[in-house]
Each structure stands twice: as structure tokens, then as C-alpha cells.
Amino acid sequence: MAGRWMRLGLYGADGIPGADALGAGIERMVTGITSPPDTQRGVAARLRYLTTSPAGYAAMDRAGLAVTARTLYAWLAEERLPTPANRRKLDDAYWDLRRRNVAADLKRRLKAGGGTRIEIDPADQTRVPAPHRRDVQVRRLTVRPRIWEAAVDAWLADDHETLDTIWDDLIHDLGSDYDAYSYVSSVGWNA
């Protein structure tokens, strides 16, 4: 991480690492089932999504959901509800598969038209005494398609180190004050 702000909150500034903001922005683009995982409707919807493909069964394995075929059929027939622990695993498996399934669409949307323009809101300095404030403004820049490809892949793999490297490369496009955007309030775009 770029970083003259190694002690971000020393004078009262507030923000998050830019890589975290980038990952959170990608995560917000993933939508899915809104029924809570602890309701019968939510369980049924997650089971339908997970049991329609081999990828769904693989997601259940990755989430640690190991049940017999008989138990799975009872859940699908709504004869029994999974235990709270298994409902959490079902929800984890659902979101894991959902993220994997939408990754290609996210890349396509973010790379369209030569890249997506983002807005970077600098760290919040409202509580920083005037002599210690940095003069940073909201910045806008277009992120090139190859960077989006790598960013979505890193997000999908939960690879924070690569997201951090991508963020550092991205903010270098801001010019000499790039380091002021190591920590930000938020990153937003419309894709």
C-alpha cells in the first residue's frame, strides 16, 4: 500500500484502505436472494439455487455442508429445516456460488466502453485540526478494462494483497498527490 498515511487516525482523519473500498464496491454489485437464511422460504430458495448444478454442490462442499442425500431430499421437500449451523453454511455456499456466477457479468459491465469511471472520496478530515489537514479533493478517473479484470479476479479469490497492488497502480494515475488516496471514505461508480 502506498502510504504516507501510515498512522491515519493520529489527528482524527477517518477512512479505509482504498483496496478495501474497491473490494466493497465490487461486492455491492452482487445481488441475490433477499429472504433471510433462517426462514423456510430463504432456505428453499438457497437450496433451489445450489442444487441445480454441480457448481452448487461444490459450493456446499467448500462451505463445509456435508449431509446425506436423504437429509438433502428432506430439506428440498420442506419436511425438515436445516439446523441453524447448516443454515449458515447454506447461506455461505449460496453467496459463494452467487459471487462466482456473477463475476463474468461484473467484468463485462465494468470493462464496457473502455472502462468504468470511478469517483474516489478522500479520507474524512472533518475532525482534523486545520494545520494538519491535507488538501485533497474528490477525484474521478476511468479504470481501464485490464485493471477491472484483475480486480474482479482478486475480489473473487479474496486476495487482499492483489487488490492492494491494483489500488496502488490505479491511484498512480492521479498524479503527484496519489498517496493522499491510500485511505478513502468511499469509492463509487455506476455500471
| 80 in the same domain as 64 | yes
> Is 3 a domain residue?
no
> Is residue 131 one of the residues assigned to a domain?
yes
Q: Do residues 59 and 96 share a domain?
A: yes
In percent, how much of the chain has pLDDT > 70?
93
Q: Assess whether 61 and 153 both reside in one domain.
A: no
Q: What is the pLDDT of residue 8?
A: 66
Query: Which pairs with CB-CB distance under 8 Å and at least 24 residues apart come from 138-142?
Result: 139/174, 139/181, 141/117, 141/170, 141/173, 141/174, 142/114, 142/115, 142/116, 142/117, 142/118
Write out pLDDT tens, residues 108-133: 999 998 989 999 988 888 888 888 77
Write out pLDDT tens, residues 88-112: 999 999 999 999 999 999 999 999 9
| Domain finish residue from 105, 129, 154 | 105
- Residue 35 inside a domain? The answer is no
Within 10 A of 71 (CB to CB), how many other CB atoms are there? 14
Indicate whether 100 and 117 sit together in one domain: no
Same domain, 51 and 101: yes
Considering just the CA atoms, what is the radius of gyration of the chain in Å? 21
Any domain includes 167:
yes
Q: pLDDT confidence of 5, banded at 50, 70, 90?
A: low
For residue 174, pLDDT beyond 90: no
Domain encompassing residue 164? 8-29+109-189
Q: Is the pLDDT of residue 19 over 60?
A: yes
Of 60, 80, 105, the one marking the end of a domain is 105
Same-domain status, 123 and 176: yes
**Which residue, of 48, 79, 105, is where some domain finishes?**
105
pLDDT bin (cut points 50, 70, 90) of residue 134 is: confident
pTM of the predicted structure, to 2 decimals: 0.82
Could you tell me if 89 and 59 lie in one domain? Answer: yes
Average pLDDT of span 152-169: 95
Domain count for the chain: 2
Residue 172 and residue 147 in contact, taking contact as beta carbons nearer than 8 Å: no
- Phi and psi of 126, rounded to 5°? -60, -30
- pLDDT at residue 52, as a whole number: 95
Same domain, 122 and 185: yes
